Structure 1
């Protein structure tokens, strides 16, 4: 898609509070404009309820940040969501997922050198995205690495980023970084 279906909003479309929030978020992420927010914040009620939920999963959940980023990167890769990939390649580096490990995440299941935990997480992501559920053997494998609350969070995280990828791709949200 060459142009956004819903262009990023400015102060008029976002309202003063939304516009200020989007400016602050862009400053915090060190980008000129946080297009995900300037598009979604045009639906104020949805944005202000989705934002805390999404933020919790990304920043305050019970999953280790490396696992969170592995799941997001794999979901974005499977859904061919360049926006998510651009954002989370950078964030994953900051959270300890180096470029070599990221390449293995994208090459899975043909990649070697991943831990049993990483393989269990990737298998689960693949099944959730493709089938909207998990096989019993994949669930048992995941149970060996995550506690009950982490299991709930993991499934919810993958579902959230799958839905977000669909939203970003369909709305044509512009990239935030020039690369």
Structure 2
């Protein structure tokens, strides 16, 4: 006997507002195990100056890493790829454009806040350019080359999620094949971050400046 679907009582759409508390809270650093510390060693090795030769391990307190800390095997699988994206063939400016526009469109507030600070502190982007990334490819001040980069991000993460042939020709004129691969995977990775961390309930840390009040996901705009 096969199951049948009851169409007389359709399932109603659930409230899609943002979680008000973390669904997976950061793991307190005093609860980290040696396994977690070892898994994070790849992250420390890529920090300025590399990993310390001896002495106690300094455990980062970032909320995002606190979520990872529940899953050492995930850390081991994820961090090498994440470190590649941080030091890929893209320039710092190209990478930050990709990350900021993607996280703006995907409502990834934590990554947006983190990379606004990182990109302006490092000089990769100006505050005016960050503001333009909240407007999109038609914002005043973009060069044609920058505008097509931003447009490609919009096309990849909205609508049919496919960069048009015309836009692809525009980014291929300024990026080589390795850069194109890194660019597309950077956009895709941070789009995934938006989905994952919104669902896990990743919260901003004290001092982080998030989205302006009016920028909320459509079903969370009330």
Structure 2 length-normalised TM: 0.72
Given that 2:137 and 2:148 are in contact with CA atoms closer than 8 Å, whether structure 1 keeps it comes out as no
Deviant stretches of 4+, over 3 Å: 11-14, 19-22
State how far apart, in whole Å, the 1-side matches of 2:174 and 2:105 are.
Answer: 23
State how far apart, in whole Å, the 2-side matches of 1:120 and 1:110 are.
Answer: 10
State how far apart, in whole Å, the 2-side matches of 1:128 and 1:47 are.
Answer: 27
Q: Which residue of 2 aligns with 1:171?
A: 200
Mark the structure with the bigger radius of gyration.
2
The alpha carbon displacement at 1:167 in A equals 0.9
Q: Which residue of 2 aligns with 1:105?
A: 133
Q: Greater helix share, 1 or 2?
A: 1
Change (3 A) 1:160 1:153: same
1:81-107 deviations in whole A, cap 9, x for unaligned? 110111000111114201111001111
Q: Which residue of 2 aligns with 1:124?
A: 152
1:49-76 deviations in whole A, cap 9, x for unaligned? 1111012102x10000000000000000
1:98-149 deviations in whole A, cap 9, x for unaligned? 1111001111134111012211110110011113321111111111110011
Q: Which residue of 1 aligns with 2:33?
A: 15
Count of aligned residue pairs for this structure pair: 174
Residues 18-29 of structure 1 aligned to structure 2 (within 5 Å): 18-19=36-37, 21=40
Given that 2:98 and 2:150 are in contact with CA atoms closer than 8 Å, whether structure 1 keeps it comes out as yes
Change (3 A) 1:11 1:17: farther
- Aligned to 1:42, the other structure's residue is in SS state coil
State how far apart, in whole Å, the 1-side matches of 2:115 and 2:106 are.
Answer: 14
Question: Higher relative CO (CA 8 A, sep ≥ 6), structure 1 or 2?
Answer: 1
State how far apart, in whole Å, the 2-side matches of 1:13 and 1:166 are.
Answer: 27
Given that 2:29 and 2:61 are in contact with CA atoms closer than 8 Å, whether structure 1 keeps it comes out as no
Which of 143, 157, 164 does residue 172 from structure 2 map onto? Answer: 143
Given that 1:4 and 1:172 are in contact with CA atoms closer than 8 Å, whether structure 2 keeps it comes out as yes
Structure 1 length-normalised TM: 0.88
